[in-house]
Amino acid sequence: MDLRLPSKVLEHILSFVDSNEDRNSVSLVCKSWFETERRTRKRVIVRNCYAVTPEAVARRFPEMRSLTLKGKPHFADYNLVPDGWGGYAWPWIEAMAAKCPSLEELRLKRMVVTDECLEKIAASFKDFKVLVLTSCEGFSTDGLAAIAVACSNLRELELRECIVEDLGGDWLSYFPETLTSLVSLDFSCLDSEVKLSDLERLVSRSPNLKSLKLNRAVSLDALGSLLRLAPQLVELGTGSFSDKLDQEAVSKLSQAFSEMKELKSLSGLWDVLPEYIPLLYSVCPGLTSLNLSYATVQMPDLVELLTRCSNLQKLWVMDLIEDKGLQVVASSCKELRELRVFPSGAEGLNDTNVAMTEQGLVSVSEGCPNLESVLYFCVQFTNAAMVTIARNRPNLKCFRLCVMEPFAPDHKTQKPLDEGFKAIAERCKDLQRLSVSGLLTDKAFEYIGTHGKKLRMLSIAFAGDSDLMLHHLLSGCESLNKLEIRDCPFGDTALLENAAKLETMRSLWMSSCCVSFGACKLLSQKMPKLNVEVIDEHPLETRPDSSPVERIYIYRTLAGPRLDMPEFVWTIQKNPEIGVSHLAIK
């Protein structure tokens, strides 16, 4: 008797399985389940665009409607990956255009997207609905115009922190009068002014518009009229908040804000003047997300704002908030889940140190029981503070501490910050993401290796004494998926000893460490399923094996070495001495 589930039944069951993790498990059961699953998967996520070829993905998932891709490694956000490294969207768009013309959604992160890519999208996918580009570059506003004019069912167009060649604000005028389906529009990263009348008309004919993030060039006055046209917004990113308005305009704007009953998320607020902060009071109680990272508002004004945000779950703010301001957050924002504090002093903005210390974070850890995600830039820190934070918040999932002074010890005891990070790793059993900084010895990493069993992503800068550090991490952290390291003193030995571990991880990045050219070659030979990329400006052919390389990027892949590498990226095939020379890479 055939006990196999009919594929139609299985298909129906699978239509309820949304999570890709579950679908991946389903596909491993047997061949027929693999087949049924792959034919029904609509949402495909590829977290390293070089781990697999676009053709393989298109072949496997013919019914794909949504594709998410990530390109460059995370440290590219901080200028550590040279221009021209890679991460090109074109091969993917080309492949999908040929094999999956029903594609509706494309979400790209840290990829190079050209105008040709955008034109191809506009021309190839008839029912294209969603384009979200995060930290992408390579395109101009002309490409945006191509999308605007052609995608008649466009729902979302979001440019998050992209580097765009801005040729002017005309692109917005290309949205046809017939386009009424817009739900989300984010052009906050563009510089040029768009025509206000076009923007107003677009907003008026978009009844489903829920999210609107303007760029800095949109004036405060313009904001008023836009809000009156879209009081239903759930997410708002304002433009510049600093024009001088007359009394009538101010009260009109205040009125507009008070009409926004659905608003949950607020960002933008560039250059916000203290006298305009009260305009926001009416929306504060409803806010769950507030991004003040571009608002150089001082503590007293911030406090006035934050005392009113009793439902806030996510707060991004500059360290101008000071310890005092964070105390107010601790007592007013009891629902807080995520806190990010950015350094106003990073570019010398404040010549004297801002009055924000480790104490601020301790207060928030005490007062906010749901706090689970932290990114905190601080000049110095103490072990005691971290121990307290860990004790208060064992539910932390993400702890990223950036002590800005490299090698800074505990400023009270002058000891390394080993004990502090030990407490975090030990107590926060669900910790998935950790960034460490300050003066750290190998001991800190021994603790992390011992306790950080759920740790998936780890970032390290200017730390450790020796190869032991890397060894502790690679042998101890069972769930380790992404490891990124800069300016640490190791580690051929640890790398080669733990080579097998690297195949269980998505990627490893090491820059300005002590990894030798010889070790890279060895590793590359030993582990064929890894791409070992050496990214170095100096010609490698003439270098001795013992010479350290500037950067390495190692990732597991089914696609083999990539063919689009620039001059300064090298993998084993480039070196004829090794013998695998028939794949001549430029």
Partner 1 sequence: MENSNSYSPYSSSSVDSTKPSPSESSVNLSLSLTFPSTSSQRETSQDWPPIKPRLRDTLKSLRLRQRGYNTALFVKVYMEGVPIGRKLDLSTFSGYKSLLENLSHMFDTSVICGTRDRKHHVLTYQDKDGDWMMVGDIPWDMFLETVRRLKITRPERC
Q: In angstroms, what is the minimal distance from the CB of 24 to partner 1?
A: 31
- Taking the alpha carbons of 546, 483, 497, 528 in that order, is the dihedral positive or negative? negative
The tokens of 310 are what? 């009793």
Closest distance to partner 1 from the beta carbon of 6 (Å) = 51
Q: How far is the CB of 512 from partner 1 (least distance, A)?
A: 5
d(CA 110, CA 71): 5
Number of Cβ within a 10 Å radius of residue 33:
18
CA distance 133 to 141: 13
**Beta carbon of residue 459, minimum distance to partner 1 (angstroms, whole number):** 8
**Smallest separation (angstroms) from partner 1 to the CB of 483:** 15
CA angle 545, 551, 553 (to 5 degrees): 105
Closest to partner 1 by CB, 220 or 469: 469
Between 136 and 284, name the residue whose CB sits nearer to partner 1: 136
Q: In what helix (H) or strand (E) does residue 164 lie, and over which residues does it extend?
A: strand 163-165
Which CB atom, from 402 or from 502, has the smaller least distance to partner 1? 402
Beta carbon nearer to partner 1, 156 or 446: 446
Query: Would you tell me how many other CB atoms lie within 10 Å of the CB of residue 47?
Result: 13
**Residue 441: both structure tokens together:** 């010895």
Name the residue nearer to partner 1 (CB basis): 323 or 467. 467
Residues across the chain: 586
d(CA 486, CA 264): 38
* Smallest distance from partner 1 to CB 395, Å: 25
- Based on CB atoms, which residue is closest to partner 1, 312 or 440? 440
Positions touching partner 1 (CB under 8 A) are: 75, 77-80, 82-84, 135, 161, 163, 189, 270, 293-294, 296, 342-344, 346-349, 377, 402, 404, 406-407, 416, 441-442, 461-462, 465-468, 487, 489-493, 512-514, 516, 535, 537, 546-548, 550-551, 568
Query: From the CB of 474, what's the least distance to partner 1, in Å?
Result: 14
Query: In whole angstroms, what separates CA 577 from the centre of its chain?
Result: 39
Tokens matching residue 73: 């490694």
Q: Largest alpha-carbon pair distance within the chain?
A: 83
- Residue 470 CB, nearest approach to partner 1 (Å): 11
Q: In the complex with partner 1, which residue's Cβ is closer, 37 or 137?
A: 137
Minimum distance from residue 82 beta carbon to partner 1 (Å): 4
Nearest distance in Å: CB 429, partner 1: 27
User: How far apart are the C-alpha atoms of 456 and 482, rounded to whole Å?
Assistant: 6
Residue whose C-alpha is closest to residue 491's, from 543, 439, 540, 554 = 554
Cβ atoms of residues 365 and 391 within 8 Å: no
Nearer to partner 1, 86 or 491 (CB): 491
Considering the complex, what minimum distance in angstroms separates the CB of residue 522 from partner 1?
A: 14
Q: Please work out, in degrees rounded to the nearest 5, the angle formed at the alpha carbon of residue 155 by the alpha carbons of 154 and 158.
A: 100
Q: What is the DSSP string of 114-159?
A: -HHHHHHHHHH-TT--EEEEES-EEEEHHHHHHHHHH-TT--EEEE
With 0-12 / 13-18 / 19 or more C-beta atoms within 10 angstroms meaning exposed / middle / buried, residue 347 is exposed
Nearer to partner 1, 537 or 541 (CB): 537
Q: Which amino acid is at 71?
A: G
With beta carbons less than 8 A apart as the criterion, state whether 51 and 502 touch.
no
Q: Least distance in Å: CB of 532 to partner 1?
A: 18
575: phi then psi, degrees, rounded to nearest 5: -100, 110
CB 125 within 8 A of CB 83: no
- Strand pairing category for 373-378 and 156-160: unpaired
Query: In the complex, what is the shortest distance from the CB of residue 572 to partner 1, in angstroms, rounded to a whole number?
Result: 21
Residue with smaller CB distance to partner 1, 44 or 515: 515
Residue nearer to partner 1 on the CB measure, 337 or 340: 340
Q: Which is nearer to partner 1, 33 or 568 (CB)?
A: 568
Extract the tokens encoding 418.
Answer: 């080993």
Distance (Å, rounded) from C-alpha 383 to C-alpha 422? 9
Cβ proximity to partner 1, 253 vs 519, nearer residue? 519
Residue 11 neighbours by CB under 8 Å, 6+ apart: 36, 39, 40
